[in-house]
A and B are shown apart, each in its own frame.
Chain A
Amino acid sequence: MILTGRSDLPLDKDEHSRFLPWLIAFMVFLSILAVAGMLVLNATASRWDVGVRGNLTVQIVPTDDAAADEARLNEVLTVLATAPEVARYDALDETRLIRLLEPWVGPSTEKGDLPLPRLIDVELKQATNFTSGDLGARLSERVKGVAIDDHRVWLDRLVRMIETFEALALVVLLFITMATVGTVVFTTRTGLAIHREAIEVLHLIGAHDEYIARQFASRALGLGIRGGLLGLVLALPTLWMLAHLAASLDERLLPDIGFGPWHWALLLAMPVSVALIAMTTAKVTVLKNLARML
Chain B
Amino acid sequence: MDTFLAALFSGTSRGAIYALVALGLVIVWRGAGVVNFAQMGQAMFSTYIASTLIQNGNPYWVGFFVALFAGAALGALLDILVMRPLSNKKKTELLSSESMRAAIPVIASLGILGVLQALAGIIWAAEERGFPAPAAQEGFTVAGSVMPFTSFDVFVISIVLATLTMTTIFFKKTGVGLAMRATALNQEVARLSGIRTNFTRTLSWAISGAASSLAGLLITPTSNLSPNTLDLVLIIGFTAAVVGGLDSPAGAVLGGFILGLVISFVTFYLSPEDVFLSILAVLLIVLIVKPRGILGGKDSRRV
Bind each other: no
Binding site for B on A (CB under 8 A): none
